[in-house]
Amino acid sequence: MGTSVNGIGTGLDIDSIVSSLVTAQKTPKQSQITEQKTAATTKLSAIGSLSSALDTFQTALKNLNSTSTSTSTSTSNSNFAPLKVSSNDEKIATASLGANATAGTYEIKVTNLATSSKVATAYVASSSTFGSGSLTISQAGTSYNIDVASGSSLSAVRDNINNNSSLKSAGITANIITDSSGQRLVLSSTKTGAGTDIGVTSTDASTGDGQSSLSSLNISTTLKASSSQGGYVSALAVDASYTIDGLSMTSSTNKVSNAITGVDFTLVKADTATITVAPNKDGLTTSINSFVSAYNALVNTITSLTSVSSTTDSDGNSTSSAAALTSDSTTREILNKLRDQLVGSSTNGGAISMLSQLGVTTNKDDGTLSVDSTKLSDALTNNFSSVQGFFTGSGGLLTRMSSSLDNYTKTNGLLDQRTASLNDTLSDLADQQTKLDSRIAKYETIMYNKYNSMNTLVNQLTATRSSVLTTLNALNNSSSDDS
């Protein structure tokens, strides 16, 4: 900003004059930039809110849109599975649904669980080291070779076993148990069932003075471990034994998948439990209401971003204000596409092809959905098996609704493009503001220079006038004296 000395020479208020000129020069362009920046910023925020709401909605659809009927008894029924499974005692048996399940009740009597192999070597002196050679660890017809270097301790052998990737994949691990009699190498397996007992044989390549033979680490697959014999710790591995409704069954694992069509269950302890497969009416009701809530939340967000509000001032004058996306065509398209899917028919729903058959209708006033709980209950009682197909799968309502939004929500989709365009606009406006500020600063300097120059000139003219008048007055006075 320039400077001036007001009131000297011209007597003008140069600061006020220059300020007025600068304001007149800057205001039109500044108003344009400010108005456009406010509009772009407001719309950018609204697009962000819309994107967030759509993302939340699609996430909700994804969570609900599961074609699997798997439902654990320990979790709530959160998808559209037509059936649910329960155990009357999960301390004895737990259950989950697989494919093609049908309603029914099954009594599971567990005699014994499937066990895994745990074996131990004979005692080995704590100070023992071994000659070079190899160990062959066998289980269920598969063998794994472990090389042992000369001078290896029992700890080194254990580490060689635990670091072997093949044994890791097979679930075989090793540890050392120590008591007053010495050390034992103990091998454990995660594989269960009869015939999965672990055996160990050895091959000595060389044994130096004072070194133990690797044969002291041999483990029998049929004998119980003793102080001088490697073998199983407490018992050989066995299959699970149980009955289903009195029918005798066995399983190599405690998780049973094929005994009851569509039902997977896990044996936990020896006792009796009842597994029940029944229509998932409560779960379906929860899922449908969750869908309605997610849709309504999105509609309410869009409504707030596109609404027009009216207010009346103290004088009774009515004014209206529009939200950032009131006239936005993209937002209208999104809402129309969602509504099109609501009124469309599902190809997977069997007896259920329209939402209205489930008591779900659209409110004409605000576009949200409402649920007639009585009609929904009746529909689920009569057609529970059709609900999953109506909502889920490639032709289901959830997939169709989410897919209709993909062009808007995907990376570099329409909303991303809108966001990038608005950011470009704001960047351009920032550049315009910088240029305007620079131009106005120069203009202000020029105006101050002009008015200060004028003030200086007037000062000079005033001084000259004063000098001339002084001289003339002197001459006049001299003439008067001569006369």
Extract the tokens encoding 389: 């197909």
352 vs 347: CA distance, rounded Å: 9
Extract the tokens encoding 397: 């309502």
Q: What was the pLDDT predicted at 7?
A: 47
DSSP, res 324: T
CA 285 from centroid of its chain's CA atoms: 25
Helix axes 281-306, 329-343, angle to 10 degrees: 160
Q: What was the pLDDT predicted at 115?
A: 98
Each residue's pLDDT, cut to its tens digit, for the chain (483 residues) gives: 555 545 455 667 888 989 999 999 999 999 999 999 999 999 999 999 999 999 999 999 998 986 444 444 433 344 788 899 999 999 999 999 888 889 999 999 999 999 999 999 999 998 899 999 999 999 999 999 999 999 999 999 999 999 999 999 999 999 999 998 889 999 999 999 999 999 999 999 888 888 999 999 999 999 999 999 999 999 999 999 999 999 999 999 999 999 999 999 999 999 999 999 999 999 999 999 999 999 999 999 999 999 988 777 777 777 778 899 998 999 999 999 999 999 877 766 678 889 999 999 999 999 999 999 999 999 999 888 888 889 987 888 999 999 999 999 999 999 999 999 999 999 999 999 999 999 999 999 999 988 888 888 877 777 787 777 777 777 777 766 665
- Residue among 133, 431, 78 at smallest CA distance from 288: 78
Q: What was the pLDDT predicted at 483?
A: 55
Q: What was the pLDDT predicted at 190?
A: 97
Q: Measuring CA to CA, how many Å separate 133 from each of 86, 137, 146, 187, 374? A: 54, 13, 9, 19, 77
Q: How do 272-279 and 263-267 pair as beta strands?
A: unpaired
Neighbours of 13 (CB within 10 A): 13
> For residue 240, what are the β-bridge partners?
251
Q: What was the pLDDT predicted at 240?
A: 98
SS (H, E, C) 97-142: ECCCCCCEEEEEEEEECCCEEEEECCCECCCCEECEEEEEEEECCE
Residue keyed to tokens 């092809």: 353
250 close to 237: Cβ distance less than 8 angstroms = no
Break the chain into its structural domains and give their ranges: 14-45+416-478, 83-114+239-279, 116-232, 282-308+321-414
283 close to 273: Cβ distance less than 8 angstroms = no
Extract the tokens encoding 225: 């471990």
132 vs 205: CA distance, rounded Å: 5
397 close to 343: Cβ distance less than 8 angstroms = no
195 close to 178: Cβ distance less than 8 angstroms = no
189 vs 161: CA distance, rounded Å: 12
Q: Which CATH number describes the domain made up of 116-232?
A: 2.60.40
Predicted structure pTM score: 0.71
CA 144 from centroid of its chain's CA atoms: 42
